[in-house]
Structure 1
Amino acid sequence: MDQHRRRNEEEAEVENVFNSEEGYDKEKKKKQREREGGGEEEVLSVETAFENKPIPSWRRQLTMRAFVVSFVLSVLFSFIVMKLNLTTGIIPSLNVCAGLLGFFFVKTWTKFLEKFSLLKQTLTRQENTVIQTCVVASSGIAFSGGFGSYLFGLSERIAEQSEDTNHGFKNPSLSWIIGFLFIVSFLVLFSVVPLRKIMIVDFKLTYPSGTATAYLINSFHTIEGAKLAKKQVRTLGKFFSFSFLWGFFQWFFTAGEDDCGFAHFPTFDLQAYKNKFYFDFSATYVGVGMICPYLINISVLVGGILSWGLMWPLIENKEGDWYSKGLDQYSLHGIQGYRVFIAIAIILGDGLYNFFKVLTQTLSGLFHQVRNREMTINLPIADQDSPLISNLSYDDQKRTQLFLKDHIPTWFTIAGYVTIAAVSIFSLPHIIPELQWYYVLVIYICAPTLAFCNAYGCGLTDWSLASTYGKLAIFMIGAWAGSAHSGVVAGLAACGVMMNIVTTASDLSQDFKTGYLTLASPRSMFVSQIIGTAMGCIISPCVFWLFYKAFDDLGLPGSEYPAPLAVVYRNMAKLGVEGFSALPKECLLLCYIFFGSAVVINLMRDTLGKIGSYIPLPMAMAIPFYLGPYFAIDMCVGSLILFVWSKIDKIKADNFGPAVASGLICGEGIWSLPSSILSLAGIKPPICMKFLSRTTNSSVDNFLGSS
């Protein structure tokens, strides 16, 4: 989702696995209590369960099989993320799925080799962490690359929808996209690495998503956890097959260009269908609904009811007064203008509120951390008798030792940052001439600070504000360039530079936390992130290019892949350059109202305590304002399935719900690959299944009878 709030409810599931294990040695736990000064309560140590397992060196954690598996999973996940990007823009966290599938594939590989006595190295949790890091880094480029937002917003197709071709455009091309991503995706890796000790060891930031993923990986490598993982993978495979075959079955009924197939089934009647209220039989979004928290799904549905159920029908009654009659339904001077710009107002209100909220928390937390930080924190970590070590629990002692053992030289990170920045400042204006070198220089001067803020804020709140930083770059650079110097194109390109910086910062910090808790070396994590990023800079553009070439209507309203956020980002850039002069009548007033409402709703959520946690999220409510609520119904069906399942058997729902959801998402997501290939080959579905009203059907029957 554009708002990257990652809530990993799987953490509870993993903790249940640990709590259910009986394999801990009692004597070791006794020693653990003695080490920590005794105590009446028994403290369970994760690392005592792995004491007899040697920790491989950082080079041995980087195996060829790990990167082969990472490549395969990166292709799979890139298709999934790309499909979600180009349909609604709601993207759930796939970290757990990456860790689970990585474990399964390498475990299968090692068992096969073991049968023939060819196994040289067993699978370790460190290698599992390397796979997860590589896959997330690679598939993350499918989001931060802007294929459904700023990058596609540069194209002529989106510019025409925004009635904005006079501000310039740059059509997608595989060569310049790959070059652009390679230039902007690596810089922040070198700026975050020196901060890893401060973030993880000194400040002890939680990074909930990274912590939950680490617990899951640790559990896979225990006896009980491995058994559970095997069952989870089997469940994922079943629902993957079902989802893939369901996508294949639906394809047969989608011949023709408009309103064909199960995806256009008028579930609630034809009038409701006209206002986008229907269940479109998407296994993907049923799965997304099972992963996303209930509140997000309800928020999306509430936004759809408010907009398509109430507001748009009322505004349509103002046709001829607020806007001219007879306009194209997708003209921004008509009803479409209200849909786009009110959605933008809500997104900006929510984004700015949370930006200042997280920034305040970051500065406050940073102040207290620095004030309370002991000077002894910099004592040599290898010294077992140092105050730092002796005051830590056994687990933290071991983790801190190994986390700081494989030191990455500061001179290396500084040299890498300066070199990549110099190359970027020189190269980016050649790729996108509107993005002047001094714009890039200013962004890169601010980059370390912005990267730190986002990484620190994510550690506190599990909330990455990458898209908000990107929107700020759109307005700042766009206004700086101005209309006369293609400010729209410059703003969108600057958004890409900024989003890649802050996204990578938070993702790498999450991965470092995962590595810290699984005893993976920071060097192996850093190398894995670099290799994964390099994979993503090639895989994601190729996947996007396949979609772009296979579907001629990609990005058009009403198509299978409408890329709604591309239109939103383009119009944000247009607003930043032109102001509000082009808005339809009363649209600006409504934008002010909804911008303020987003701020007020967030304030209520933060001040009303437990009651506030039930108030819908403005960012989630904004998405159906432009696109419609049909996918919200799918997501709510997913929530309902999980809710009923939890009532019947909570343990099974907790353990297997994420696997079922991942299977549904992955199966239909990967179906987009053969679907694209069939389209490129000119093979079209044989049947169009369409739904007509009784009156229209009689007219068609009469016409066919008379002919």
Structure 2
Amino acid sequence: MPLLSWWRRIHSEQSPSSQPEFTARAVLLGLAVGCIICFTNLSLGLQSGWISMMSIQSALIGFLVSRMLPIPLSPQEIIVVQTTAVATGTMPLAAGFVGILPALGLLDEKRDGSPPIHLSWIAAVGWSFSIAYFGVFLSPPIRKQVIIEEQLPFPSGTATAQLISVLHNMPPPDTTIRRRNGYHAVDSDDLPGVSEPPEELVEDSLESSIPADDDTREAVQEGWFPLIWSFAVAGLLTLFAYFVPVVFAIPIFGSYLAREWLWFFSPSLSYIGQGIIMGFPTTLSMNMGMLVGWAVLSPLSKLSGWAPGPVGDMSTGARGWILWTSLGIMCADSVISLVPVAAEYVTAVANVSRAGYAALDVTAKVDHDPEPEARLVPVRWVVIGLAASVSVGTVLVWIVFGYDAIQPWATLCGFALGGLLSIIGVRALGETDLNPVSGLGKISQLFFAWIQPGNIVANIIAGGVAEAGAQQAGDLMQDLKTGHLCHASPRAQFYGQLIGSTISIFVTTTAYMLYQRAYEIPGPSFPAPTAYVWLSLARLLRDGELPENSARFMAGFSIFFACLSAIRTRAARQELWYAKWIPSGVAFAIGFLNTPSFSMARLIGGVIEYVYRRRFAKHNSDIRIIVIASGFVLGEGVISIVTLVLRTFGIGVLTCWGCGHGMCGGCPAN
């Protein structure tokens, strides 16, 4: 009965004239889609360190499923589906299952002062609970600032809103920007001396993914066929590759280069689908990094004797040697890209200070939020939720890892730093569609190396706590932007976020434990490259030792990409056409982190996307290719659950034919 009363009260909070929003069918569909995305992201994250929010894909699948129901879902219900799915699907990164936990498992007692830490299922659930809600409760106050007051564009969130509007025959959302160049404390009409920037239209970086006419609407409404066939083809190929592992490890340049230098090709349709979604410029940057890292620096370090071990060894081999150059590039690119955001924030604070209390009094009377109080998340909930999530999270971290691993005061500092980094990350995401959590994570590690020196375990855990808040708040803010443009209830989205995050704790933990039982992590099938980034930086900050001659390359590439990032950031903010063609430092660095097979397959997807847009698309807003790419990604993600079950029950490969180069992850001979 209490649950029924709670559900009725939620519905009574919605406007009587509004469409249905927070409904059981919307939540259940969101959880179903989110669980599929969760498995997909966990698998892809452990393979490559990269995951996707899948906001547009969640909304699209929710819409297609709703066409089969007697009463289709309303636009606001679709937004609840999308919000719940994203909260469920991004937990593998937020809770560190693709980086933090594998890094703790790589610890060496002699070198790090701590034996490897492998959490049990209940301990992993406790860790996930400790960080699962902090970002959710941060979202409402940040929404007020960046979405209502500053009206940052949030390109992916805006793209999803426009997709939903077209599918439901709604008027296009108002995407004009009142405050694009930073927050002004008062309006020009309210206080002399403060000018209002002119209104301008959002030029969405994802505009190629936004539908705009009847042809696209018809294509999406009949989108089951391309979604199903792409899903089926990707799933069948994944299942076939499980039984014949060489299919995903083809030595296209010969067995010698595959065995000794890791040059092989994985024709994964999921990778190709990701390349389509990421776009040609990003995949091109990734492959430029692949060529520099694996065709130039890797042979140079090996042949010069700087990395004498096997090329794939992360400790003594070339892969571990080029990791440091990759780390330098990521840090430089992320920090430089954050400078304009930080400068705007400082300017905004200075403007408020100069305006004085009069400005504060004026703004206190002005509320630009179009939503009534009954549809907003009460401030009391936010305060209580933040206090509870921080206090309970600190206790849970202490219980899971122990006082010797990390002291409670350090965990509290992690939550505090996470709140600050969340603001920076959300603003960067709102302006550029990129949440630089990798760079923010490195900043947090640097901070904890200073306040708790010498403790590698504390450095990784506390850094993970800080990064989790920034990543989760950013992902959820995209959904709130979509809801704002489509007039969905922020409170309904908040409920969906809480439910999605809660269910994902158990789904992600169980999935990770199954993967860990069936596969070696890190290992050939799931190398977990970001785990080495976390651990290597923690060791560097403690010892200050780098592999031979890696420091000069790390410094040189860092300076180069810092300058390049400054040029790209300036060009992007001026909306110059060539900005997207300037190589992205983060994407370039990912080309170093992963073997060439990871990047080559995504480049194929990027080329397909580019050619399709230029030659075959009926218009720039044609999203047929996105439907097919979504099927590729989800098909492999779902079948990975099947192959995991097969591996758990001891059903192995049919043949190791062609695996003589040693790169077939599923072959027991390797």
Q: TM-score, normalised by structure 2?
A: 0.82
**Which moved further from structure 2: 269-278 or 639-648?**
269-278
Asked if 1:560 is matched to 2:543, the reply is no
Distance (Å, rounded) in 2 between the aligned partners of 1:338 and 1:287: 30
Deviation digits for residues 50-86 of structure 1 (CA, Å, limit 9, x no counterpart):
xxxx965789522111122122112110111011101
- CA distance in 1 between counterparts of 2:613 and 2:555 reads 41
Where 2:122 maps in the other structure, the secondary structure is: helix
- Equivalence for 1:660: 628
Deviation readout 1:172-214 (Å, 9 max, x if unpaired): 3221111111121212333331343333222222222211111
Equivalent pair of 1:58/1:524 in contact (CA under 8 Å)? no
Structure 2 residue corresponding to 1:355, chosen from 334, 338, 347 = 338
1:439-476, Cα deviation, whole Å (9 max, x unpaired):
12223344443333332332233221223222222222
Paired amino acid for 2:286: V
Which residue pairs with 1:227 in the alignment?
A: 218
**Once the two structures are superposed, what CA deviation does each residue of 1:249-292 show, in whole Å capped at 9, x if it has no partner?**
222213xxxxxx11221223345434333431111111111111
Aligned residue in 2 for 1:200: 147
Given that residues 168 and 488 in structure 1 are in contact (C-alpha distance below 8 angstroms), is that contact kept between their aligned partners in structure 2?
A: no
Consecutive unaligned residues of structure 2, counting only runs of 5 or more, are 1-13, 171-213, 662-670
Bigger Rg, which one: 1
Shift in alpha-carbon separation, 1:128–1:370, aligned structure 2, 3 A? farther
Q: Secondary structure at the match of 1:332?
A: coil
Residues 1:264 and 2:224 are matched in the alignment? no
Instruction: Check whether the contact 2:441–2:464 (CA below 8 A) recurs between aligned residues.
Output: yes
Code of the residue aligned with 1:128 in structure 2: it is I
Deviations 1:466-490 (A, max 9, x none): 232222222222343232xxx1111
Partner of 2:204: none
Between the aligned partners of 1:243 and 1:510, the Cα distance in structure 2 is 28
Alpha-carbon contact 1:190-1:417 (below 8 Å) kept = yes
CA deviation map 1:502-522 (0-9, x unaligned): 122222322221111111111
Match of 1:250 in 2: 241
1:303 matched residue in structure 2: 289
Partner of 1:424: 393
Give the AA of the match of 1:126. Q
Q: Match for residue 27 of structure 1?
A: none
Aligned with 2:126 (options 179, 182, 190): 179
Q: Which amino acid aligns with 1:205?
A: L
User: Equivalent residue for 2:641?
Assistant: 673
Match of 1:542 among 496, 510, 528: 510
Using the alignment, how far apart are the partners of 1:529 and 1:326 within structure 2?
46
Deviations 1:5-31 (A, max 9, x none): xxxxxxxxxxxxxxxxxxxxxxxxxxx
Native 8 Å contact 2:220 2:624 kept in 1: no
1:345-494 to 2 correspondences below 5 Å:
345-364=328-347, 378-379=364-365, 400-402=369-371, 404-433=373-402, 434-483=405-454, 487-494=455-462
**Distance in 2 of aligned mates of 1:269 and 1:691:** 12
SS in 2 for 1:468: helix
- CA separation of 1:612 and 1:691: change in aligned 2, threshold 3 A: same
Q: Which moved more, 1:262-271 or 1:289-298?
A: 262-271
Q: Distance in 2 between matches of 1:650 and 1:368?
A: 47
Measured in 1, the distance between the counterparts of 2:58 and 2:589 equals: 29
Identify which range, 93-102 or 470-479, moves more after superposition: 470-479
Counterpart in 2 of 1:514?
482
- The residue correspondences of 1:36-47 to structure 2 (distance < 5 A) are none
Structure 1 residues 90 and 445, CA, compared in 2 at 3 Å: closer, same or farther?
closer
User: CA 1:84–1:164 in structure 2 vs 1: closer, same or farther (change >3 Å)?
Assistant: farther
User: In the superposition, relative to structure 1, how do residues 445 and 669 fare at CA in structure 2: closer, same or farther (>3 Å)?
Assistant: closer
Q: Which residue of 2 aligns with 1:126?
A: 76
Query: What is the aligned-residue RMSD (CA, Å)?
Result: 2.8
Q: Is the 8 A contact 2:165 2:486 kept in 1?
A: yes
Instruction: Return the TM-score normalized by structure 1.
Output: 0.78
Matches of 2:385 and 2:458, distance apart in 1: 26
The residue identity in structure 2 corresponding to 1:529 is: Q
Aligned residues of 1:458 and 1:506 also touching (Cα < 8 A): yes
User: 1:266 is matched by which residue type in structure 2?
Assistant: P
* Aligned with residue 552 of structure 2, among 560, 574, 589: 589
Taking a change above 3 Å as real, the CA distance of residues 448 and 99 of structure 1, as seen in their structure-2 partners, is: same
Which amino acid is the alignment partner of residue 153 of structure 1? A
1:215 aligns with 2:166: no
One-letter amino acid of the counterpart of residue 219, structure 2: L
Q: 1:466 to 1:607 in 2, by over 3 A?
A: closer
Supply the AA of the counterpart residue of 1:209: S
> Given that residues 243 and 668 in structure 1 are in contact (C-alpha distance below 8 angstroms), is that contact kept between their aligned partners in structure 2?
yes
- Alignment partner for residue 66 of structure 2, among 106, 117, 121? 106
Distance 1:404 1:508, change over 3 A: farther
The residue that corresponds to 2:38 in the other structure is: 78
Q: Deviations over 1:412-447 (max 9, x none)?
A: 321222232222233321212212111122233444
Secondary structure of the corresponding residue to residue 689 of structure 1: coil
Deviations 1:194-248 (A, max 9, x none): 3433332222222222111111112221295763322233311110011101111
Residue 136 of structure 1: how far off its partner (Å): 0.4
Cα pair distance change 1:626/1:201, threshold 3 Å: closer
- Equivalence for 1:3: none
1:190 alignment partner in structure 2: 137
1:339 aligns with 2:306: no
CA distance in 1, matches of 2:611, 2:527: 33
Aligned counterparts of 1:73 and 1:343: Cα–Cα separation in 2 = 34
SS at match of 1:590: helix
* Partner Cα separation in structure 1 for residue 281 and residue 438 of structure 2: 21
**For residues 244 and 610 of structure 1, do their structure 2 counterparts lie closer, same or farther at Cα, with a shift above 3 Å needed?**
same
What is the deviation of 1:106?
A: 2.9
What's the secondary structure of 2:107's corresponding residue? Answer: helix
Q: After superposition, what is the alpha-carbon deviation per residue over 1:375-395, rounded to whole angstroms, capped at 9, x for unaligned?
A: 6655587xxxxxx7xxxxxxx
Deviations 1:581-625 (A, max 9, x none): xx3321222222222222122133345655554221121111232
Give 1:642 deviation, angstroms.
2.2
What residue number does 2:55 align with?
95
Segments of structure 1 that go 5 or more residues without pairing to the other structure are: 1-53, 112-118, 255-260, 382-387, 389-399, 694-707
Query: Is the aligned partner of 1:330 residue 2:280?
Result: no
Give the conservation status (yes or no) of the 8 Å contact 1:192–1:452. no
Alpha-carbon distance in 1 for matches of 2:592, 2:507: 32
Are residue 316 (structure 1) and residue 302 (structure 2) matched?
yes
Q: Which residue of 2 aligns with 1:41?
A: none
Contact persistence 1:104–1:233 (CA under 8 A): yes
Partner of 2:614: 647
Identity, % of aligned pairs?
24
Q: How many residues align?
A: 593
Partner AA of 1:418 in structure 2: A
Which 10-residue stretch deviates more, 444-453 or 408-417?
Answer: 444-453
Contact kept in structure 2, 1:190 and 1:413, CA below 8 Å: yes
Q: Secondary structure at the match of 2:119?
A: coil
Corresponding letter in the other structure for 1:177:
A
Distance (Å, rounded) in 2 between the aligned partners of 1:513 and 1:330: 43
**Counterpart of 1:90 in 2: which secondary structure?**
coil
SS at match of 2:623: helix
Q: What is the CA–CA distance in structure 2 between the aligned matches of 1:138 and 1:304, rounded to whole Å?
A: 32
Residue type of the alignment partner of 1:228 = A
Give yes or no for contact 2:262–2:595 (8 Å, CA) kept in 1: yes
Compare 214-223 and 139-148 and name the one that shifted more: 214-223
1:149 Cα deviation after fit: 0.9
